[in-house]
A and B are shown apart, each in its own frame.
Chain A
Amino acid sequence: MANKQSYLGEFEYFVLLSILQLDREAYGVTIRAQLKKAIDRDVSLGAIYSTIERLEKKGFIQSRKSEALPERGGKPKRLVKVTPKGNEELLATKKRTDIMWEHANCNVLHDY
């Protein structure tokens, strides 16, 4: 039976891509801003952190704490980065999406 947990949901896919784009500066605030800037999606920090927890459990990302910062009320940032397993899953998801688009009825594209 296929392992359901290894697949990415749409929002997980976008969060992983945002982390990849932000490189070493990926944490709650920047991921939220990136999602807003890139795809105009206004999501709460709650949704982002739930997704980060899920992706970390699946082994697609790793997180570490930065030093405590005064502009954060003395709290550290939770910096995240994509693991090699996460990179593989991103590529596999893109490949699956491309295959599905190739086989899709192209009338939908001509309409635009």
Chain B
Amino acid sequence: MSILIWCKWLLRLCIPNHLNSDICGDLEEEYITITLPIYGKPKADRLLIKHTMEICTHFIFSTKNLLSFLVSVVAVSIFFTMAISVFWLSNLADISVLSDAFWQQWLAGNTYQIFFETLLWQSIPQIFAQPIDWSMWLYKPALIYALIAYYFLYKVCVITKLSIIKYLLIALTVIILPYFFGTALFLFMDIKMNESGPIVAFMWLNTLYLIIPFSYQLISKIKTSNSCFL
């Protein structure tokens, strides 16, 4: 198969569909009518490959693609951190493996301290080796909140055309609200250790449920909008 066919195949993967015929046609015309007669096959092939790479790079490393990639990485990282933390805490047989200072912080509402526990990250290989009980990630109040929040943001998007920035701010507020609610409960009420589980589940599982759908919607907005503010 000729280099030209490979280059056109690569371009079809990297460039927007509506530009496919224009750019592939131009590339082929330039190769056949200009570079091939002037430089001969070896150099013309090298120039063709170089130009194809330049075109692919131009479209792959666009601001929109980089922003979408950044949102995806952040969302997936948060999702897995939350999922692993919930799994680890649900399967924690002996709470004394964590220090008293940690549990004091926990009951003071600083539940995020768990993400800085080296023991959690060291346990990841064991976590993946354990059998999974899917019900540990299902908590009815968090599910109800997540569904209402998703419906609310979906409706707001349908009624008013939200900009990327406005969508991001509303989505973050909706995700963080249960976290602040739980922290306030820890701060202003005397929560016992055995009562802390449902509160933390409500704080964390909402993020787990909402982060991926909200990120997907945000990426769709990034792909279709011309400006972050319009």
Judged by a CB distance under 8 angstroms, whether B28 is at the interface is: yes
Contact between A50 and B58, CB atoms less than 8 A apart: yes
Judged by a CB distance under 8 angstroms, whether A44 is at the interface is: yes
The residue among A53, A75, A76, A78 with the most chain B CB atoms within 10 A of its own CB is: A75
Chain A residues within 8 Å of B33, by CB = 71
Main secondary structure of the interface of B (DSSP, over half): helix
Contact between A29 and B55, CB atoms less than 8 A apart: no
Contact between B27 and A45, CB atoms less than 8 A apart: yes
Q: How far is the CA of A44 from the CA of B55 in the complex (A)?
A: 6
Contact between B26 and A28, CB atoms less than 8 A apart: yes
Q: How many interface residues does A have (CB within 8 Å)?
A: 20
Chain B residues within 8 Å of A76, by CB = 21, 25
Q: How many interface residues does B have (CB within 8 Å)?
A: 23
Chain A residues within 8 Å of B21, by CB = 75-76
Known A-B contacts A73-B24, A75-B21; the reply to A47 vs B58 at CB < 8 A is yes
Judged by a CB distance under 8 angstroms, whether B29 is at the interface is: yes
Judged by a CB distance under 8 angstroms, whether B117 is at the interface is: no
Known A-B contacts A46-B23, A49-B19, A49-B22; the reply to A29 vs B29 at CB < 8 A is yes
Q: Interface readout for A33-76 with B: 1 if CB under 8 Å, 0 if not?
A: 10000000000111101100100000000000000010111011
Q: How far is the CA of A49 from the CA of B23 in the complex (A)?
A: 8
Sorted nearest first, the 8 A-B pairs with minimum C-beta distance are A75-B25, A46-B58, A28-B26, A72-B25, A44-B54, A46-B55, A78-B22, A73-B28
Residues of A within 8 A of B (CB): 27-29, 32-33, 44-47, 49-50, 53, 69, 71-73, 75-78
Residues of B within 8 A of A (CB): 8, 15, 19, 21-30, 32-34, 51, 54-59
